[in-house]
Chains A and B, each alone.
Chain A
Amino acid sequence: MTIRSMGLALGWLLLSNSAWAGDADPLQSPMWSFHQTRFLGEAPYEFDDRVVLSAPPFAEDSRQVPVTIDATALGQEVVRIVAWAELNPIPHIFTFFPTGPVAPRIALNIRVEQATPIRAAVLTRDGAWHVGSTRIDAAGGGCTAPSAVRAQEGWEEHLGEVFGARFAQGDGSRLRLRIAHPMDNGLTAGVPEFFIERAELRGGDGAVLASLELHPSVSENPTLTLQLDGRDAGQQLWLRDNNGNEFEAAF
């Protein structure tokens, strides 16, 4: 599957060689322009140090690799953040839409199927993309490993449980949480896709402060760290999976 998609990508690369624009990829990955076209389209982009993508240099557990994307240096100009793992069978990790009090910073755990470049592309109001990159080495198999959640007796009863806390950080606060969900990606035999596909952080009045579209490259029992201006409590987290189950949590 991966080999086939790589083959397609390479074929595309040969055909479109003349259409290249923008910066040279600091990771010099043959997959960059394939994903650039897919996720960024025709829009201008640059590799930008203000998008800080942190991940360990190697995956100790390919099923749970922590990734942190911090675009706070681009401040209020940020409209959207898209992240992907180039060599995963399902590359797309998430698309994040922070607004107002929610900082353009997010941390979560992902799966990696093999050593891969990771990208975070940040769209600013002027229509340009700013790209941060890193590379993760891995023994692999994180996307096709059997589910640890499903191995637990009675896991269904815990579906959608959220554990977390609010932490003061300077004038702002962090919300950190873990959601009980298998996040099945459909790549393990006999288990169809079953994953949380949408999350919204809402204010006390119900207004959406940030929304997040998730894909099953996100780890099972997903963790999430968000950063907010101010230390007022009262936000709510709303979640929905692809089977229509909705879950809510309050901070």
Chain B
Amino acid sequence: MRLCCMLVAIFLSLPLAAGELAYDLQPRQIATDTWLVEGSTENFAADNGGEIVNVAFIVTEAGVVLIDTGISRRYGEALRAAIGRITARPIALVINTHHHPDHVFGNQAFADVPIASLAGTRELLAAQGAAFADNMYRLLGDWMRGTEVLLPTQTLEPGVREIGGHRLRLLALRGHTGADLAIFDETTGVLFASDLVFYQRALTTPQTPGLDVWLADLAELEKLPYTLLVPGHGPVATGREPFAQMRDYLGWLDGLLREAVAAGKDMNEAMNTPIPERFATISLTRYELVRSVSHLYPKYEAQVFRRVDRRE
């Protein structure tokens, strides 16, 4: 399998090798001391290099706090160079909000500084990182060259942590992967929600412990007095619209799965459910519905199926 992936990666790299594969990362200031590298709302593809995720950093008096590192070693290196063009201050701390590849596979570029995450994130990355890497090499080819899983070196506890004049409130939540960190900068009012909030991009469910858990996390985040919200994917917002969209979408998905199972539909019927017009502005809804039905249908079936064999 791995050999197969490598061959695919080599094959994909051949026509690209002549051109220069380079990420053109342009950090944009979104608040005091605060910068965003905004990814597209597309899926991973060889033509975007996996530049589909939001990465942010805060330039504090004690150095730069970086929130997530992107999809590849090459991305991480480009990110570090881009930060260096904005500030001469050193990187003080790198945070991995959760273990998904687009948030942690740039870690190698920061191997000389502390990389911190929730304990659960480190465990999940240790268990699943190799499989993620296989899949990303398949999807992105040469963009991934040299990328290996580098685990976080420090464990974050929830609570307030002061770094270089910024009071960062760390929230340990679970809805997206089972170990999801959100960061509220009380000093600037910026909430870094990471993948607990997708905005104008369909949310992904491969590791969610349950849509109800995710909804509870959103209720907690929405209470925070933020002035700017940075989602994991999609544009920043000053208002509450991303929360309204998330609740609406999660509620629709939960209802769809519940009703499809209750009606005796099979998985393909559920995957082909019409998507409401009001979600037309959200990218990749059909693609993610196919994935979500794959991930979640058995859990919903289990709530309706009962034991029918004669051994009972």
Contacts and interface: CB of A to CB of B under 8 A. Distances in A.
> Does B bind A?
yes
A178 B261 CA distance: 13
A248 B310 contact: yes
Contacts of A144: 1
A139 B206 CA distance: 15
Nearest to A238: B310
Interface stretch (B120-128, B188-196, B224-232, B265-273): B265-273
A39 interface: no
A74 interface: no
Nearest to A224: B266
Given A58-B290, A68-B269, A169-B263, A161 B1 contact: no
A13 interface: no
Nearest to B264: A167
B1 A141 contact: yes
Contacts of B295: 60
B227 to A, nearest CB: 38
A162 B134 CA distance: 35
Given A60-B295, A163-B305, A107 B310 contact: no
B40 interface: no
B301 A178 contact: yes
Interface in A58-89: 58, 60-61, 64, 66-68
A60 to B, nearest CB: 4
Given A107-B267, A163-B302, A165-B305, A139 B310 contact: no
Interface string B154-190: 0000000000000000000000000000000000000
- The secondary structure that dominates the A interface is strand
Contact of B290 (A60, A64, A140): A60
Contacts of B304: 165
Contacts of A7: none
Contacts of A9: none
Given A54-B268, A67-B268, A107-B267, A178 B305 contact: yes
Contacts, number: 92
Contacts of B266: 66, 68, 107, 176, 225
B311 interface: yes
Interface in B289-312: 290-291, 294-295, 298, 301-302, 304-311
A204 interface: no
Given A61-B294, A68-B269, A164 B308 contact: yes
A249 B309 contact: yes
Contacts of A173: 264
Interface in A82-116: 107, 109
A164 B303 CA distance: 10
Given A139-B135, A139-B138, A176-B266, 7 more contacts: A55-B268, A64-B294, A68-B266, A141-B1, A164-B308, A167-B263, A178-B298
22 contacts: A54-B268, A56-B290, A56-B294, A61-B294, A64-B294, A68-B267, A107-B266, A107-B268, A139-B135, A161-B311, A163-B302, A164-B308, A165-B264, A166-B264, A167-B262, A167-B263, A169-B264, A177-B305, A177-B308, A178-B301, A225-B264, A247-B311
